[in-house]
Amino acid sequence: MMPHDHPHPTSRDHSEPRAAFDRLLSQVLTALDESALLTTAEVTAQIEDMEGRTPTEGAKLIARCWVDPEFRELARHDLPAAAAQIGISMPPHPVFLILENTEDLHHVVVCTLCSCYPRPILGPPPVWYKSRNYRSRVVKEPREVLAEFGTVLPAGTNLRVVDSTADCRYLVLPLRPKGTEHLAESELASLVSRDSMIGVTKVST
């Protein structure tokens, strides 16, 4: 959703402008303004709320999970409640979940149908996440795709690709890097990248 008072690129691959979609969007927003359903101002407020959210929020949550076993347990069972404890508000639906990486299991997240993503925790998804290239390939040749992100899984590591097709949104809880026992929570958070929370990279020091 975009407000109709400035230009914006829109395409099936989210990478090139599509004038027809711009016109359609303008007309939909005008019709909404004339209805009692929703106003352009509300649409803009929602966009601004989403654009104000960044992977920094997710990184804080991951670092807290690493240092606080009780918090991690809460995040496992009720991610919105855990997020609320560190000041991140989340809607009641869809269902937000963490996928815990271990020494033996690595998760990577995709939405092959569109661009479902844990936006309240990570903000808007990166362009590549919405690309046809990523969406079609990561379910078919995930190890090759991960390698392109510089991630080579050791032999014997189980790989689970999670396709966010319906009512769930996933945040990968990456493995805490070794040798970080001395770091403060805020230092740990600064190590956590957006891509590691999608599962295409690991966290390193």
Partner 1 sequence: MISVRCDQSKAPKFADGQCVQVIQDESLGHCRTPLYVRGAYGKIVSYIGSYKNPEDLAYGGSGLPESPLYWVEFNLSELWDNYTGDNTDTLQVEVYEHWLRKTAQDK
Of 41, 45, 5, 42, nearest to 25 (Cα)? 5
Contact between 143 and partner 1 (CB under 8 A)?
A: yes
Tokens standing for 174?
A: 């990456």
Name which position in 48, 51, 141, 185 contacts partner 1 (CB under 8 A): 141
Smallest distance, partner 1 to C-beta of residue 21, A: 18
Contact between 84 and partner 1 (CB under 8 A)?
A: no
Using CB under 8 A, which residues numbered 165 to 184 contact partner 1?
165-168
Of 173, 171, 32, nearest to 101 (Cα)? 173
Inter-residue contact 91 to 120 (CB < 8 Å): yes
Inter-residue contact 121 to 53 (CB < 8 Å): yes
For residue 182, the surrounding DSSP H or E stretch is none
Catalytic residue among 11, 15, 89, 114: 114
Q: Which is nearer to partner 1, 45 or 166 (CB)?
A: 166
Q: Which is nearer to partner 1, 25 or 161 (CB)?
A: 161
- Identity of residue 184: A
Smallest distance, partner 1 to C-beta of residue 202, A: 17
